[in-house]
Amino acid sequence: MAKFTKEFLISTLKRFYEEHGVVPKKSDCLSSEILENSSNYQRYFGSWNNAILEAGLKITKLGRKEVITKFCLYCQSKYETKNEASKYCSRNCSNTHINKKKQRAVSSKICLECGKIHKRNSDFCSRICKSIFEMKNTSIVEMSRYKEQNKYRAIRDKAANFYKRFGKSEYCEHCGYDKHTENCHIKPVKDFSDNDTVWECNRPDNIVFLCRNCHWELDNGFLTIEEIKGK
């Protein structure tokens, strides 16, 4: 085994730095003809970093590249990096700043149904207005796509879905039963003309909420709207 002196080993480190312009790394011992085996530096100096310090070279935790002090483009805090192209102190600052720049300025819009000014990414200020607008612009005949007994099923389903979301009563308007209610058309769907809109049929003043029993009684003539409204 070859015997070295500390002075000789230090000279190899300095020579490597002078020729390559960077502080040598332990892995450079495998490829460089200037440096000796890394175990020799550890044996004489206790560790690789101690050898680097004894040679008067600078150690940085970021490796052989020079540490650069920069200011984060988003939060303006000072940070250190070895990447010259770095602009942010953290991934969080990077994502937040980039996302804010991508956000499009939403211009004010006027709801096609109620005329209210809003900033939603839609032609309507709410789903209620959108649903009403669609029903106002669809005729009975256009929505009656089924035949015979099921002819008006789509219109009744539209009413059921609308009032389930936007104002279904919690109790029967006749008997007060509160476990289940159904929307019932005061003027039957079949009594509207084909050119009438779905909204004319499904509008709130043509809807009454009843339990299943009262609904059946109304449909079969055992109960009248006057009795329901007068109660």
Query: pLDDT class for 1, splitting at 50, 70, 90?
Result: very low
pTM score above 0.75: no
Find the range with the poorest average confidence among 56-60, 123-127, 205-209.
Answer: 56-60
Instruction: State the average pLDDT over residues 208-222.
Output: 91
Q: Are residues 85 and 150 in the same domain?
A: no
Look at the chain and count its residues. Answer: 231
- Establish if 62 belongs to a structural domain: no
Positive or negative, the Cα torsion across 122, 128, 130, 133?
negative
- Establish if 10 belongs to a structural domain: yes
Residue 106 DSSP symbol: P
62 φ/ψ angles, rounded to the nearest 5 degrees: -95, 10
- Establish if 191 belongs to a structural domain: yes
Please name the residues in contact with 52: beta carbons below 8 A apart, sequence gap of 6 or more. 13, 23, 24, 59
Strand partners, 104: none
Of 59 and 188, more confident: 188
Per residue in 66-108, pLDDT (tens digit) is: 678 889 988 888 888 878 788 888 888 888 888 877 665 567 8
Say what the pLDDT of residue 135 is. 93
- Establish if 1 belongs to a structural domain: no
Per residue in 175-203, pLDDT (tens digit) is: 999 888 888 998 988 899 989 999 999 99
**Number of structural domains the chain divides into:** 4
- Take residue 108 and report the two structure tokens written for it: 């004010």
Q: In this prediction, what percent of the chain has a pLDDT beyond 90?
A: 25
Please name the residues in contact with 186: beta carbons below 8 A apart, sequence gap of 6 or more. 205, 206, 207, 208, 225
CA-wise closest residue to 181 among 168, 194, 200: 168
Q: How far apart are CA 38 and CA 29, in angstroms?
A: 6
The residue range of the domain holding 169 is 142-230
